[in-house]
Structure 1
């Protein structure tokens, strides 16, 4: 199949066709070539200077050469103005007579450039240009005529008053007559407005004002509209007081003209002159006109409505003091309707109408003025729906206009910026990069206003939404090809270092900026990312986070495998010299940068050579002597061992720059002052972080101490209640037992002889109960020891008293007296024991108070807490020892008394037995 198609005849036929096509293409090229005669005519002698060459080409050259010379006329005037105006400009004036439109436009543009750039310093030269302009002002071609008119209007700004009166004003009065063409009368209107700014007010009122009023009554609506727009300039030149009656009556009449363009011009002029009017004129002239225009805007042409929407904010601001509440509501309702112009009722789908889109864009432009008009306090109820709708408009141009005006709205709503938080998120997350570009112009100020008043953002959990929107906006721009917008966005994100907490910045933004620094391939974006990362590093207050960020720089860039990353580290060092203090830079950046002298890639060493003078300026002797030696070693290594010719040339230039560095120059003092300021700021940031950590730790310790104090109070109250109840019960039971013992003794006088076991057993029981009540809180070892001692003592006393029988005989009275004395002594001893117990209880209260003082001391000095606790335990141990000794003494006294009693009883029993015997 393919062999039948690819035969030699077909190949030959295809080749011939291609040859014919090539020949056909080459024919016009050959015809367009210049002949030898034409080349001779276009050839100019090389020995001629610029002025002579221009004169030669204007004289004998072709039209294209003449147009080139005329277009190059401004450069000739800059080089040699006198010769140009003496020899070249007259030639140009001669050529313009009868020339075509191309040369006319080139001459008008050249003279306009000369007048606008202030190249001419002599008025005679301007006068020569004015003569040429006035000569060709009434050219039959409208485009050429308008070009010469623009040149004339620019020339009027530089002409003296007398020249304007003689050369401009007289032709103006002549051309403004109805007998002249429409184009001439339109030019007269514009010239009239321009001339009125240069002449005195009495001349304007006497000569120009009647001419202006006559042109306002012209039969052509274009002339009426053009002259109506120039009335503002005439009124400002003469003053409102002098021409109020004439001008305002004409403007009101023009505002009711049959042509919409004339009404529009009159309406704009009245609004622009509103600031010059008094309150009566505003109330009786402007307010009725505005209300009628707003009422009829539904039936008006969209061009008029577009102009109304553009002037609406200025209109409302100027008439705010003259409007009633009902009129204000009507204007506000009209503005809301303009914000929805061109949008269908369902779904806000836009119509294909450019005028409606322009109206909504103008509404976005007037949003700040309308916020002032409705007052920020009523923004949420009156204007917020319109603002929200414009920020979410289906047309990109409207959203871009809303983003451009958003900062002014936020600035006016500064106490309540959280109202438009949703709209800010919508603009940040917009799919069109044009919207984000418009928002970036004032993003720093907007974020500062929103985040600085972010209490409600934190309470409503809107802060994470804002951070995620900022990150998504950066990622969206980073994925596009608009690197200039990406660079602008990173530049605006520098303010986040001052606005966001260091923890959020370190977790969310620093990793993303470092990723851009290491992966992005656009050099301006990388440099801006380096600057942003350095700013984040400088304003980070936590040392561990700063160390982590420095570790990323050193590991990912300075020690990176790609030479591109090592070059970026040098860019970071260049930024760091501007952002950080010398001390911080020399400590963290300088040595890793100097180590790149051993880099195998010549581009890295080349970049290092360029930065060495900057590094040298960061060193101070004698503090940085070792660093200076390392820098000198780096220079010597590059001078001795470098083989790349570009690096060698650069290091030689660097050595010369290092030698020329004057370290005693006045700029050195300025740099030192700036460096001291940076160092103070860095130190202050670290101190603020340290104070914050200390305050947080102190707050936590205070909370812990307060909790511990409450727990100790609870324990103390429980212990105190238990001790009081037990002591009360013991005292009451001991009193009852004493009364029972006395009652048994009184009964024993008339009864059979009994033993004293109950009375003796009551006393030890009483002591045991008291001692147990006073020994609460003792250590188990001491308590067991005291219990053993008490048990031994009580058994011995019980055995001694119970083994002796008591018989009442003739010595019963003495025995009773002795027993009563003994009971009295025992009761006294019990009373003393109770007193001692009370003293012990007071001592325990004192100990508890000292306890509380020690606990408060531990809150002030946390380090001595353990030591104070040990001292407190030792104090308790000593107190317990004293109590045990006191109890032993009391028990010893009781033992001695019981022993004496038993001895007396034994002697009495022996005496009775002996008497019996």
Structure 2
């Protein structure tokens, strides 16, 4: 009898431990217990997990949000631990409770887990267990349950009977008309999902009226989500239906009294353009886009400006040039001199993309003056955006048209008093070099690259050395041997020890790009000569450089030239020099 009791007690052990841990005042301990649920379930077995663990968890959902979040995530992966898809429905009850809690992130995670479980239900189980859960949530007293319900309709709709489908459509319609704004917002956010799974005959009958109702809601947070839904709904309709049922509401959204709604229209404008099709976009969306580009709110103008290039590219080829010249370009000219720097920066990032569409003549006559205006803009971000996208124009009109105006802007940025601006133009230099060509670069920009090597800010000097490596990779070793290496080597004789150290840093990054031959004949001798420098900081950097060059040159050079110098440095009077020299020698040995 005692043995029987002992066995019974042992079998209850995991639940007892879990109960004790979940009652502990330490939140972290309770959180760790929830994260070990799968281990406890394996110990219990599938039957006891269904009969004991899941009911226990259902009855104890009153914990901290962090613990509940972990529980919601765990339950979504619990199907194998309760016996497979056949028993997945037993996980619905605790998740239903979690889907009603006050904390949004917990509800969202519970809904995610429920959506995952819905795919593991058979059609029969969906109707017997999942759909009743959706209905309970959709008619719950608290808005929290009704908001959660909105995310569950689309995942079960397609696999239920016709009668149940009608009930789900009616239930979702009620949520769209709910008295609580948070519920209507949730319904608007999921309307696009529901539209994609609903039958075509019910699309106009049910979905479009719901969408139009939400698009005219008194809360702007609901109306802007209706704009999002339009992106999913419009492609499902015929062109005639889009014209008759959608366009007037969409036009009203682009002129909405709330800037947040107009911003959403601008943000999703190219998606809306694709959704309604090219014909309707030409007739209805071009005027709407003009309106957004002229909006009184800078945030809206910025969002619209960022989509100028994509909007133009999505137009039908036969009307692209005409629409840009007559409708878009006049707005762009105003945006280039906008009072808000974010608007100007957004325009500068996309305006170059119009060049391939408009062609050489129109670019030179109409766009080039705008580029030059922005190259002179007081805002460095505007100038950088123009320079970083110069390839679009270069490929259309050639560098000769740009060089006279481009160079002063680059020089001005390169000498900007803000070191971060100088850093940005350095990072664009390899891109510019490839676009402008080696001849133009050598004549106009190469002196700038060498000037950055002696900048008073270390970050600039460091970036300049990386820039040289990328230029060598782009233009080749022969170019490096005649153009870059002699100037770098000459820095070893500079009176400023920081510049001599920069010479070493350059050699470190150039060696691999230049290859063993150029390194052995030009770079290595320079480093070896600097081993006798009077400044310890230079000498220990010589030791570090020699260590790196060992991997580039051949073994004979290492043994005959590098090793003797390192051995001499191991006897240096400075402790740091000895340290790095010994480190290099240890690596060699």
After TM superposition, the score normalised by the length of structure 1 is 0.52
The residue that corresponds to 2:429 in the other structure is: 493
| 1:147 and 2:105 are equivalent in the alignment | yes
Q: Secondary structure at the match of 1:371?
A: helix
| Aligned positions of 1:904-915 closer than 5 A | none
1:275 and 2:210 correspond: no
Q: Return the alpha-carbon distance in structure 2 between the equivalents of residues 112 and 588 of structure 1.
A: 65
* Residue 233 of structure 1, aligned match among 190, 193, 207: 193
Residue 187 of structure 2 is aligned to residue 187 of structure 1: no
Distance 1:553 1:58, change over 3 A: same
Q: 1:168 to 1:252 in 2, by over 3 A?
A: closer
Q: 1:54 to 1:295 in 2, by over 3 A?
A: closer
Q: Alpha-carbon deviation of 1:290?
A: 1.1
Unaligned runs of 5+ in 2: 1-15, 45-52
Q: Within 1, Cα distance between the matches of 2:21 and 2:33?
A: 13
Query: Is 1:138 equivalent to 2:92 in the alignment?
Result: no
Max radius of gyration: which structure? Answer: 1
CA contact (8 A) 1:497 1:535 kept: no
Select which of 279, 282, 295 maps to 1:341. 295
How far apart, CA to CA, are the structure 2 residues paired with 1:95 and 1:276? 41
The residue aligned with 1:553 is 488
Aligned to 1:250: 209
Match of 2:302 in 1: 361
Is residue 401 of structure 2 the alignment partner of residue 450 of structure 1?
A: no
In 1, are the aligned partners of 2:111 and 2:152 still within 8 Å (CA)? yes
From 370, 384, 391, the equivalent of 2:329 is 384
Given the alignment, which residue of 478, 496, 502 partners 1:562?
Answer: 496
**1:502, 1:540 within 8 Å by CA — same for their partners in 2?**
yes
Unaligned stretches of 5+ residues in structure 1: 1-51, 343-355, 660-917
Deviation at 1:494, TM superposition (A): 0.8
In the TM superposition, residue 592 of structure 1 has moved relative to its aligned partner by 0.4
Q: 1:371 aligns with which of 294, 305, 312?
A: 312
Secondary structure at the aligned position of 1:518 is classed as coil
| Superposition deviation, residue 363 in structure 1 | 1.2
2-side partners of 1:321 and 1:609: how far apart?
66
Q: Deviations 1:136-177 (Å, cap 9, x if unpaired)?
A: 4434xx4x2x23212213323654613994775432222212
Q: Contact between 1:133 and 1:148, CA under 8 Å: does it hold in 2?
A: no
Offset at residue 591 of structure 1 (A):
1.2
Are the equivalent residues in 2 in contact too, given 1:297–1:305 (CA < 8 A)?
yes
- Is the partner of 1:608 in helix, strand or coil? helix
Secondary structure of residue in 2 paired with 1:526: helix
Query: How far did residue 576 of structure 1 move?
Result: 0.8
The residue aligned with 1:465 is: 405
Partner of 1:308: 265
Which residue of 583, 587, 591 corresponds with 2:521? 587
Structure 2 CA distance, aligned partners of 1:167 and 1:569?
74
Of the candidates 490, 500, 508, which is equivalent to residue 574 of structure 1? 508
Contact 2:38 2:81 in 1 (8 A): no
In the TM superposition, what is the alpha-carbon distance from 1:98 to its structure 2 partner?
8.8
1 CA distance for matches of 2:321 and 2:295?
A: 24
Secondary structure of the equivalent of 2:121?
helix
Looking at structure 2, the residues matched to 207 and 566 of structure 1 have their Cα atoms a distance apart, in angstroms, of: 80
What aligned pairs does 1:30-429 form with structure 2 within 5 A after superposition? 59=23, 61=25, 66-70=26-30, 82=39, 104-111=64-71, 123=81, 132-139=94-101, 142=102, 144=103, 146-156=104-114, 158-159=116-117, 161-162=120-121, 165=126, 169-177=131-139, 180-193=141-154, 196=155, 199=156, 201-203=158-160, 207=164, 210-218=167-175, 219-220=177-178, 222=181, 223-237=183-197, 241=200, 243-251=202-210, 254=213, 259=218, 265-277=225-237, 281-286=238-243, 289-291=246-248, 293-294=250-251, 298=255, 300-323=257-280, 328=282, 331-342=285-296, 356-372=297-313, 373=315, 374-376=319-321, 378-406=323-351, 408-410=353-355, 412-413=357-358, 417-418=363-364, 419-429=366-376
Q: Secondary structure at the match of 2:279?
A: coil
Assess, with a 3 A threshold, how the Cα gap between structure 1 residues 522 and 357 changes in structure 2: closer, same or farther.
same
Distance 2:121 2:136 in 1: 18
Change (3 A) 1:86 1:404: farther
Q: Map Cα deviations across residues 253-281 of structure 1 (whole Å, 9 max, x no partner).
A: 5367564656655454233232333xxx2
Q: Distance in 2 between matches of 1:209 and 1:474?
A: 67
**C-alpha displacement at 1:375, in angstroms?**
0.8
Distance in 2, Cα, partners of 1:573 & 1:121 = 60
Q: Distance in 2 between matches of 1:638 and 1:204?
A: 85
- Could you tell me whether the CA contact under 8 Å between 1:235 and 1:243 is conserved in 2? no
* C-alpha displacement of 1:571: 1.6
Residue 531 in 1 paired to residue 462 in 2? Answer: no
Relative contact order higher in (CA < 8 Å, ≥ 6 apart): 2
Query: How far has the Cα of 1:580 moved from its partner?
Result: 2.0
Separation of aligned partners in 1, 2:404 and 2:285: 39
Q: By how many angstroms is 1:644 displaced?
A: 4.1
2-side partners of 1:399 and 1:169: how far apart? Answer: 52
Q: 3-state SS of the aligned residue for 2:453?
A: helix
For residue 552 of structure 1, report the CA deviation from its aligned partner.
Answer: 3.0
Report the secondary structure of 2:553's partner residue: coil
Once residues 75 and 357 of structure 2 are traced to their aligned partners in structure 1, the CA distance between those partners, rounded to angstroms, is: 43
Q: What residue number does 1:711 align with?
A: none
SS at 1:453 equivalent: helix
Q: Distance in 2 between matches of 1:125 and 1:607?
A: 65
The answer (yes or no) to whether the contact 1:365–1:402 under 8 Å persists in 2 is yes
Cα-to-partner distance string for 1:677-735 (whole Å, 9 max, x where unaligned) = xxxxxxxxxxxxxxxxxxxxxxxxxxxxxxxxxxxxxxxxxxxxxxxxxxxxxxxxxxx
Q: Residues 468 and 510 of structure 2 are in contact (CA less than 8 Å); yes or no, is this contact kept in structure 1?
A: no
Cα 1:563–1:405 change in 2 (3 A) is same
Contact kept, 8 Å, 2:100 with 2:148, in 1: the verdict is no
Q: Deviations over 1:542-576 (max 9, x none)?
A: 989964644432232x2233332222222211221
How far apart in 2 are the matches of 1:271 and 1:59? 48
Give the SS at the match of 2:541.
Answer: helix
Cα displacement (A) at 1:73: 6.9
Match of 1:631 in 2: 562
Provide, for residues 114-156 of structure 1, a one-character-per-residue CA deviation record: whole Å limited to 9, x for no partner.
Answer: 789x9x99655998997655334434xx4x2x23212213323
Match of 1:811 in 2: none
Would you say the 8 A contact 2:507–2:523 is kept in 1?
A: yes
Q: Alpha-carbon deviations, 1:389-411, whole Å to 9, x = none? A: 22332123323433444465456
Residues in 2 aligned to 1:554 and 1:533: alpha-carbon distance in whole angstroms? 13
CA contact (8 A) 1:390 1:399 kept: yes
Is residue 535 of structure 2 the alignment partner of residue 601 of structure 1?
Answer: yes
CA distance in 2, matches of 1:604, 1:206: 84
* Aligned positions, number: 548
Shift of 1:187: 2.0
Structure 1 residue 579: Cα displacement: 2.3
Residue 743 of structure 1 corresponds to which residue in structure 2?
Answer: none
> Which of 412, 415, 418 does residue 480 from structure 1 map onto?
418
SS of 1:617's equivalent in the other structure is coil
Deviations 1:414-473 (A, max 9, x none): 756544334444444444455567x38xx54x2222234343x635xx422111112222
Show the counterpart of 1:772: none
State the alpha-carbon separation in 2 of the partners of residues 230 and 627 from structure 1. 68
